[in-house]
Amino acid sequence: MVDNKADTYSAISIHSFLINTAKFVSPMLGGFLLARFGAASCFLVDSISYIPFVFAILAAQIKSVSNKYLLKNTNILQNLKEGFTFAYDFLPIRYVLTLQILICFMVMTHVNLIPVFVREILNGNAETMGFLMTASALGSIIAGLYLILRKQATGLVNVIAYSAMVLGLGLILFSRSNNLQTCLVLIFIVGMTNTLTLAAISNFVQLILVDETKRGRVTSIFTTGFLGILPFGNLFFGGLASKIGVDNALFFGGICCLIGAILFVKKLPNIKNLISNIYVESDLITQPNRD
């Protein structure tokens, strides 16, 4: 939908910010409606909320797609194969999608372990749970604001690498803490860096995709790696927490994330070298560099 390639970064950043703002506001609104009017009111408001967005979609003006962007092959399996082959062979995309899958499996599942952590480690209640989730969502909003306010679209690989490292370290420290105030600070960092890393990966993938015929398929791989991996991660960490404890399960996830981030950092010089010409072709920079 975005004509100017350089505007893609801003569009995705705003999209991420809106999603995480909704994550922050919606639970509070839902809790108020549930307490005052009952569960039925939540479903009613949710249903009504779709109406303005339907009109917004219908009002969107999208230019017709050029024939050069249309797939010549109508074989679905062949098209899927080409998409996976492209994502695997193009090293920058392979590296960032691998890191994304690792984070979604090892880290994002922490959200479903928080209630157990609150009960068993913090000896808290629903109010404690609310504090932690609010702190995490607030961190996500800060991450979204940071991406929107960044002056340049390039340099995202650095954001991805070091944000993922802080994410893993933050989850490790969170798993070792039993003090609510400390946990609030750490879960804020986890929420912020989790959103920052995944949103930066989404931005990065869109920016370096110069072959429009591959965009839909690579984006689908990203979405599958994001949503498709979560149920398996929840299953794995639910079982792991029952065996070794929720704190140790979170610690394990943080360690795996940190190791993955360190390995990604080692690939940075190679990634920057491969994408510098793409940035020039997209008019994001005027000459090749290693950022």
pLDDT digits (tens, 9 = 90+) for 176-230: 999 999 999 999 999 999 988 988 888 888 777 766 777 777 878 878 877 788 8
Judged against a pLDDT cut of 80, whether residue 277 lies above it is answered with no
- How is residue 163 written in tokens? 């944000």
**CA atoms lying within 13 Å on the CB side of residue 109:** 28
pLDDT in tens, 92-117: 888 999 999 999 999 988 888 988 99
**Whether 168 contacts 115, CB under 8 Å:** no
The interaxial angle of helices 268-281 and 156-175, nearest 10 deg, is: 140
**Whether 145 contacts 84, CB under 8 Å:** no
- How is residue 31 written in tokens? 């809790």
Rounded average pLDDT over 228-233: 87
Lowest mean pLDDT among 27-41, 125-139, 154-168, 178-192: 27-41
Mean model confidence pLDDT for the chain: 82
Judged against a pLDDT cut of 70, whether residue 71 lies above it is answered with no
pTM of the predicted structure, to 2 decimals: 0.80
Produce one character per residue of 14-23: b if its CB has 16 or more CB atoms within 10 Å, e if not: eebbeebeeb
**CA–CA dist 76, 85 (Å, integer):** 14
Does the domain formed by 79-282 have CATH 3.20.20.70? Answer: no
pLDDT in tens, 73-85: 567 777 777 777 8
Residues 6+ apart with CB under 8 A from 271: 91, 92, 95, 157
Task: Check residues 209 and 132 and name the one with the higher pLDDT.
Answer: 132
According to the model, what pLDDT value does residue 5 have? 62
**CA–CA dist 76, 82 (Å, integer):** 10
According to the model, what pLDDT value does residue 280 have? 67
Domain boundaries, the chain: 79-282
Any idea what DSSP says for residue 225?
Answer: I
According to the model, what pLDDT value does residue 286 have? 53
**CA atoms lying within 13 Å on the CB side of residue 260:** 25
What 3-state DSSP class applies to 107? Answer: coil
Secondary structure E strands in the chain = none
